[in-house]
Amino acid sequence: MSGYPPRRNMAIRFAPILIAILMGLMIAARGCQEGPFGRLQIVGMDAQQEAALGLRSFQQVLAESRVVERGPIPEVVAKVGRRLAVASQSPEFLSAIGLTIQKFEWDFRVVASNEVNAFCLPGGKVVVYTGIIPVAETEGGLATVLGHEIGHALAHHSAERMAQQQLVQLGQSAVVGSMQDMDPRQMQQVMAVLGVGSQVGILLPFSRKHESEADHIGILLMAAAGYDPREASQFWERMSSATQGKGAPPSFMSTHPTNERRITDLQKWLPEAEAIYEKSQKQNGNRLLPGLRADIEQNTESPFFPSRTGR
Ligand SMILES: [Zn+2]
């Protein structure tokens, strides 16, 4: 018996662990969890439920869309996406954003549409519309878009929005049942909260806080994946000028409202991102996205490049 410490000592030794477990349970019961950059967030559903909902919505979107299965655009989206997905698991990146490893099942798909949009559903299901390719312009620009979208998903912004909009129960029933069995209006609501956008007819803008967090996570993630983080502000400037004078803004800008602080903040986070970029395996982010030069020269349908032959 001499090898075992007395029972009282054991209790003292394990007391902090017990208290931590109890506190963790209490926080979980209230639907709270540790969010990005050390803030507490109220989510109301766990990551598994959120991912199941993401998967359902993903299947729904793909079933209703013209998915581009093969070709250079899906290839480059998958390539850049994969790099970001790998980087999202790196301990250095996770400690920079203050989150622990998350089990995402990544899937990157391209939908043929003039719509300027892209989103990442909970659990890592990403949809890129071909309409955003000319604005993304380069692989680094695409890494900015995907990094930002993945940022929303890593930060569980959807679950947080579900709680804010009091749609948790609805979301949970969508996971258990079939999405097609749902009231179409309710289904629209749930998908809008997940960030699907105009495809369901409701554009629900992300809050300023969520936008800022997704930008911060995005710029660190692209840097960790080896894309020059200076590309981020260049992309947002391209996006703003592509939007000016075009009447209704594209869905991407409606769901990701921008403001003059975005560029300032991205510049502020640059030193932090560059430190991560220094240690990364560098990518050629300047490479033009496929088909783009042809689009510009042949003056195809792209709404972002004025006619070269007209006038
Ligand atoms: Zn956003």
- Does residue 224 fall inside a structural domain? yes
Q: What pLDDT does 23 receive?
A: 62
- Does residue 274 fall inside a structural domain? yes
Question: Using 50, 70 and 90 to split pLDDT, how confident is the model at 254?
Answer: confident
Show the domain range for 176. Answer: 34-242+250-298
Alpha carbon of 67 to ligand 1 centroid (Å): 23
Q: What percent of the chain has pLDDT over 70?
A: 86
Judge whether 34 counts as a catalytic residue.
Answer: no
- Does residue 308 fall inside a structural domain? no
Which two tokens mark 180?
Answer: 């097609």
- Does residue 46 fall inside a structural domain? yes
pTM over 0.85: no
- For 80-101, give the DSSP string: HHHHHHHHTT-HHHHHHHT---
- Does residue 4 fall inside a structural domain? no
Alpha carbon of 210 to ligand 1 centroid (Å): 7
- Does residue 303 fall inside a structural domain? no
Question: Using 50, 70 and 90 to split pLDDT, how confident is the model at 236?
Answer: very high
Alpha carbon of 251 to ligand 1 centroid (Å): 11
Alpha carbon of 112 to ligand 1 centroid (Å): 21
Alpha carbon of 126 to ligand 1 centroid (Å): 13
Q: Count of domains in the chain? A: 1
- Overall average pLDDT of the 5-31 stretch: 67
Candidate list 50, 137, 139, 149, residue with the active-site label = 149
User: 118-149 pLDDT, tens per residue?
Assistant: 999 999 999 999 999 999 999 999 999 999 99
Q: What percent of the chain has pLDDT over 90?
A: 54
- Does residue 29 fall inside a structural domain? no
- Does residue 62 fall inside a structural domain? yes
User: 36-95 pLDDT, tens per residue?
Assistant: 998 999 888 888 889 999 999 999 999 999 999 999 999 999 999 999 999 999 999 999
